[in-house]
Each structure stands twice: as C-alpha cells, then as structure tokens.
Structure 1
C-alpha cells in the first residue's frame, strides 16, 4: 500500500499533510510513503528531511497511490490520475467544490472530508477542525497585539502607570478560548461572550470575565450553537454594543462549518470604538462576524482597523501542519487493518466523514446539493 502527500496548489496554502517526524508512523502501519517535491517547503520542511525519514520524493508519486492526503481538496488533474478504488483524505467543502465531488464519484474514488469528522470523544485525536482552530485562535491574539499601538499588560513604572488593554472575544469555541488564553497570558483584561451558557465556566477557567447578556440559551448539538432568530440577534447586538465600544481590541471567532458566519457586530457598533482600536474577524472567510470585514484585508471602519482572517492556520504553517498531519495519521490508523487500507463503513467516524465511495455520494447533504444543481 502506498500513501502520498500532495504539494498544495491552492493559493495561499502553506500547510502540508505530512511532516517528516510522522513518516515513520505510516511505515509502521505498513505503507510505502511518497511525497511530491517541494510539498513541505512553505512549512520550512525540505525534501531532504522527508527522504531522511524514509519517504520517497517523486513527481510521479500520485500515479500508483492507494491513498492521497492533502490539506485542500486535490485538483481535478490529480483525481484523473488516480486509479478507481483509490482514496483521498483532505478538507472537502461540498458547497465550493461540487464539480470535484462529481469527478470523484465518476472516477470511483473514495473521499474523506476532515471537516466531517464527528465531534465524539473517540474522534478527538482526528478532529482537524479543532486542531486548526487552536492555531487560528492563537494567531488572532497575536494579530491584535501587533496592530494595537499600546501595551497589552499593566505596567507600573516610576514615570506612571500604564493600564492594561481591554480585549473582548466573541465566540468561545476552541479558537475563541485559545485567543482568550493568549491575550490573557500577554497581560490584557479579557472579557468574552458565547451564546452557550456552558461556555461561561470555560471562559472563567482561562482567567477571563464571562459576559452575561441574560438571553435565552442557544446550546446546540455537536458542541455548536443553534442558529438564532433575527430578533434574538438584534437584541444580542444591542446588549453587546457597550462592551464592543469599550474594547481596545475585539476578536470574533464564531463560525459553524458549512454555514455562513453569524453577524455579531454591525458597522455602527465598530464606529463607536475609540481611535486606534483593533478588530480581528476570524470568520471573514465565511461571511464575517463583523459587518464590513474582508477576508485577507485590513479595512478602516470609523476609528478602528478591521482585520479579516483568510485561511488563518496557514499563517503558521509549521505547527498547523504538525497538528493536521497527526490528525491524518490517527484517521489512517483507524482505517488500516493488516497493512492494508480497509475502511470499515460501519464505524461512525468512517461513515460520517466519507463523501464518495464506489461511484456513489454517501454524504447526504452533498448528494442533495448535487441533485439540486442538476435539476
């Protein structure tokens, strides 16, 4: 069996699905390991490091691959080179790559989407959304520190006292909690809000002050929040306005995979922030939590700089690649038996994350999108 890591071709993607330190894990499972030339260069991982670890670096590695792993979905040109029955493992957002999924089905390639890994205890070590959110949350706090033209921590000096920065974090999932923890370690006074009341304890455990708006709970399945009504959203924005206005730095991290990000902050709310304030919108790629934010850009709204995140984990390719590669190793281990890649489709993790197999689209929401597109 041969497993091959691709060189990413998606613009701005610097991560890689395999790191030299983990090549031996695949070899122990019984795989020959291949990697495309230059696959790790953006993560500062040379071809020589992969070769020394036991991988074969080859431009033709895909041609006889049984399993192809990548961060972004493989290109159509790669899929056309795969034999029927081969498998791909990557992020695979159905809404933005339906033609690719049609091709996977047509070519009888089995595909697994890392964003579909179920949020159950047994799958925690495979959950790439969580591992990459950890990186993104840290990066958000660092962006805020870099952009804010004042100290984060309290400073007491002979020349006087410099008060700490006031940071507000909206969304207390993995990314939000990491942003809170990082801002707190840097000395800021941090306040945070999430629509799930259970998050208040987690916020407090990071040393931040939970914001209680005394609104109805929106605790949902799988660790995500339920979608809120427009009336509820408007009332929430009204109650959050004074917290936003008082913040030196606002970090928003609320997102649900496959759905547009909730609008938490309006332009009018940002316009109430003081001169020199900073807004970091991690969800800009999926519509934005902040009205007016743009992915990959910094724009001025009122007196505040608004930074829109775009593929934020790729801004820290080293740690992001290491974590993602470990997620891949753990998933491949689950689907390997006696040295062969043999997914058990009775297993919840395997069944839930599978998009195409045997010429069929097994993921029902994706199949519904394809059928709707064909009508």
Structure 2
C-alpha cells in the first residue's frame, strides 16, 4: 500500500504525521511512503531528508491524495480535504467525531474509511497508539515552560547575598497525562506544587512525584472516574465544594495550570472570574482546555490576556505544535504502530479487521457507513482498586491497644525469666561454684546485649556498628581475663568469645569503610 502524509493547513500547526525515521519502519511493513513537499519543514524535516529515507516527495495535496491508498495527517481534516478522498481510501488523523458530524457524513459519502487517533481505546495493548496521551504529555510539559516564561520570578527558592527569594507556588488542576507531566516539570524546577483531581485514586501518583494532593472534605456519592480513565462530571454539591477550595487557594498560588477535559463535552469552568481577581499581580494561569472553551472564565483561545489586576492568562491551543519536532516524532510513532496493527502479515496489504478492539474502536466510518460510536471494547483496562480508608482510632482505643501490648510484652518477659531461672537453677545443682558464677555473668550479658541491639531501629545500622563494637570490646576484655583460667572449658569459651568479637569488630570497620567509600568522589 502507498502511505502519504499531508501538510497541515491549519494556521500555526507545525507538526507532521510522517518523519524519516517512522517512514523507514513503515517501509519494513511492505508499504511505500509519500509526503507532500514542505510538510515537515516546520518540524525540522526537509524534503531532502525524506528523500534520503526512501520517501517520495509529492508537490501538492491533490497529487498526493490521488497517488496514495492511505492518507495520514495530524489535525482533524477540513471539508475540502475529505471531499478529495476516493472510495476505498483510508484517512488516519485526529477526527473528534462527536464534534464533527458534518465531517463524518462527508467521509461516509466519499466511501472512505476514517480512523480517528483520538478514538483509540484506552486499553493496555493500544498504549503504543495513544496519540492523545503522547500530545498531552508534551502539552503538560510545555505549559510549565510557558508559565515560567511569563512568570517574573524563579520557580525554586533561593538564598543569595542580595536577599531571599521564596519558591513559586503552583496549582495544577487535573492529574491526567498532561497534569502529571506538568507536576513532574514543576517539581523538577523546584516549585512548591499542589495538584487536584476529582479521582481520589490518583493521590498516590501525585504524592509520588513530590507534589501535594489537595483533598476535599466531601464524600462524593458517584465515582470520579469515567470510562477510559477520564474524569466524570461531578455533582453540583461537589462542584461547589471544589470551587470553595480553589477560592481558598487563589490568593496564595502564583501559577495555575488547568487540564480538566471531559470527552464529548465543553471544558468545565473551574477557575472563575472572582478567583482571578483574588490572585496576586504577576500570577499566571495556563489553560490547557482553551480549545474546548477553557477551564477559566476569562480564557481567550489562542491569546495571551493580561487582566486589570495584572494576572496573565494564557489560552494557547497549540502547545504540542510549539515543540513540533518532538511532537511529530511521537505522533508519527503512534501512526506507525497503528499501521503495524493494520498490516499483521507485514506484506504491505492493509487488513481492516473490524473484530479487533483497537481498530474497531478507532474506526468512525467504513464501507459507506458511520461506525461511530463504537461498541465497548471486549477487553477493558483493569483499574486498581482504591485503597480502603484506614479508620482513625479514638484516644480511648489507642490507650486500650497500648495497655494490651504492654500486658502481652510483660507476659512474654515473665515467661522468659521463668525459663531462664529454671535453667540456671538446674545448672547450678550440678556445676562447680566458679563455673556457675561465670555462667550467670554470661547469661546476663547475652540478655542485656540482645535487648540493647534489638531495640535499635533498622534505619540506624551505621550507629549500631559503634554500639556493637563497644560491646565487643567489653567481651574481648572479659575473655582475656578468663583465658588463663584453670578450667579447660572456660578457656575454650573465652577463646571462642575473643575470636568472634574480633571478627565482629574488624568486619564492622570494613563494612563502614565501604559505605563511606560510596560517598567519596572518584
């Protein structure tokens, strides 16, 4: 089959669906690759680079569509592009079928098969084709960079000769792929980072990345997660509690990054006008949902707005395109994996298997029919069960547990002492007086040593070496005093004690030396 990449016609779009590297991999599947002249220039791939990778460069869009069997692109197609498609051709791109009914009908009327990269089901097998996650990851990273470019201070706190600089306080609303990427970037830059999400199960992910999860003291009756791992719409009561929390945080935060989106719906309004007015002059809001209406009341798509109180609101809709080389590389890889699944025999022939969950889920028109929305996938991603909440004990329950533990420990100690006393008494009935005296000292030393060492925390192993070395030194002194005894048994025990204590001391010093060497610069 012939695979061809169109040049994007949306103003400002710099990405391309085919890179020289991805073309090399697609050719291994038996396909031929074509690209419209100039399609990759904005992303750093010129026509000569494509030609060197074995890609045929075609002068314009009309000629490319006429020459290929499969058309690939990034943005959802314009009507004129769809109307150029021929019967039996395949189009692979972002499509947003729920918002583009006219485009769906046009593709159906042309008899073309349309595969929407935004409809790839979120199951484990399809992660390699998940273009939404690929682009969201870049958008989250770029959002923090844009915020830093517009913010008038450091992200990290500093103490300099000229004075102390406090760290920036960043709030990230939504902990999906974009939100987690923004959290990672913000924390790596040294900012105090907080994050909120309606799904409580993501709290562990947020905290593992060094951010603080913003909890709401509200018990939501419905699950905050919808199909595919997205957030579900919240109840009005939950929304009011959420806005109340944001109003509490607004005066203190320096940067707000909103990422909340619900598929097929306008972006929820989470940062209201009064919250913007509460923020300090010079604060920055980056609205990643601007293309779908924005999470902030004052967001203007594709514009940078400065409010009367000096708050900067960034509503750019092309964050991935601002990193065109990286975005194109990841998106082209997603397309390559989709083509890999469409070419199972690697013989250059497309097999559009509508029984395959991934292919069926992403197909929105096929053989003259609209196939959107798709049926639920047969294989669903299994989400981890939320951890059960640990019940907080009352002071009375804590006290009862402490008393029970004390009684159990006391009982064990009494049993040990009783057994030890019986053993000493039985030995004393048959052993000489001198041996008995040394034996009692030995038993007491073992008991005291065990209690001292056993109580030391595992996190204090290095100080523990000093303690054990001190105990070993006492043992060596005692053994030297006893090694000249007239009793052969006592002399033997003293010699063994001397040997084992010496091994312990020298071994401890060797281990300590190796540990210290790990921290020395090479």
Normalised by the length of structure 2, the TM-score is 0.68
Equivalent in 313, 322, 332 of residue 339 of structure 2: 332
Structure-2 separation of matches of 1:73 and 1:284: 17
For 1:353, the equivalent position in structure 2 comes to 362
Contact preservation (8 Å) 2:99, 2:264: no
For 2:279, the equivalent position in structure 1 comes to 273
Matches within 5 A, 1:20-59: 20-59=20-59
Deviation >6 Å, runs of 4+: none
3-state SS in 2 of match to 1:364: coil
Contact preservation (8 Å) 1:64, 1:82: no
Cα-to-partner distance string for 1:171-192 (whole Å, 9 max, x where unaligned):
1100011111111111111011
Structure-2 separation of matches of 1:90 and 1:333: 16
Structure-2 separation of matches of 1:118 and 1:311: 24
For 1:119, the equivalent position in structure 2 comes to 122
For 1:128, the equivalent position in structure 2 comes to 131
Matches within 5 A, 1:102-181: 102-181=105-184
Question: Which consecutive unaligned segments of at least 5 residues does structure 1 have?
Answer: 366-375
For 2:104, the equivalent position in structure 1 comes to 101
For 2:329, the equivalent position in structure 1 comes to 322
Cα deviation for residue 138 of structure 1 reads 0.5
For 1:79, the equivalent position in structure 2 comes to 82
Matches within 5 A, 1:249-260: 249-260=255-266
Q: Structure 1 220/58 Cα, relative in aligned 2: closer, same or farther at 3 Å?
A: same
Contact preservation (8 Å) 2:233, 2:262: no
3-state SS in 1 of match to 2:286: strand
Matches within 5 A, 1:299-310: 299-301=305-307, 302-310=309-317
Normalised by the length of structure 1, the TM-score is 0.94
Structure-1 separation of matches of 2:209 and 2:325: 25
Structure-2 separation of matches of 1:104 and 1:322: 27
Cα deviation for residue 96 of structure 1 reads 4.2
Structure-2 separation of matches of 1:317 and 1:262: 28
Structure-1 separation of matches of 2:176 and 2:242: 18
Contact preservation (8 Å) 1:169, 1:251: yes
More helix by share: 2
Question: Which consecutive unaligned segments of at least 5 residues does structure 2 have?
Answer: 375-522
Cα-to-partner distance string for 1:263-299 (whole Å, 9 max, x where unaligned):
1111101110111111111111111111111111122
Cα deviation for residue 95 of structure 1 reads 4.3
For 1:235, the equivalent position in structure 2 comes to 241
Contact preservation (8 Å) 2:155, 2:189: yes
Contact preservation (8 Å) 1:127, 1:327: yes
Structure-1 separation of matches of 2:170 and 2:288: 15
Contact preservation (8 Å) 1:87, 1:109: yes
Q: Is 2:224 the counterpart of 1:218?
A: yes
Structure-2 separation of matches of 1:244 and 1:140: 19
3-state SS in 2 of match to 1:340: coil
For 1:17, the equivalent position in structure 2 comes to 17
Equivalent in 87, 92, 116 of residue 89 of structure 1: 92
Structure-2 separation of matches of 1:76 and 1:266: 36
Contact preservation (8 Å) 2:139, 2:319: yes
For 2:200, the equivalent position in structure 1 comes to 197
For 2:499, the equivalent position in structure 1 comes to none
Structure-1 separation of matches of 2:217 and 2:327: 37
3-state SS in 1 of match to 2:74: coil
Structure-1 separation of matches of 2:280 and 2:135: 32
Contact preservation (8 Å) 1:110, 1:354: yes
Q: Structure 1 315/257 Cα, relative in aligned 2: closer, same or farther at 3 Å?
A: farther
Structure-1 separation of matches of 2:256 and 2:373: 38
RCO higher in structure (CA 8 A, sep ≥6): 1
Contact preservation (8 Å) 1:65, 1:82: no
Q: Structure 1 172/159 Cα, relative in aligned 2: closer, same or farther at 3 Å?
A: same
Contact preservation (8 Å) 2:216, 2:241: no
3-state SS in 1 of match to 2:172: strand
Bigger radius of gyration: 2
Cα-to-partner distance string for 1:236-269 (whole Å, 9 max, x where unaligned):
1012212222101111111123221111111101
Contact preservation (8 Å) 1:271, 1:303: no
Larger CA deviation: 345-354 vs 232-241: 232-241
Contact preservation (8 Å) 2:232, 2:262: no
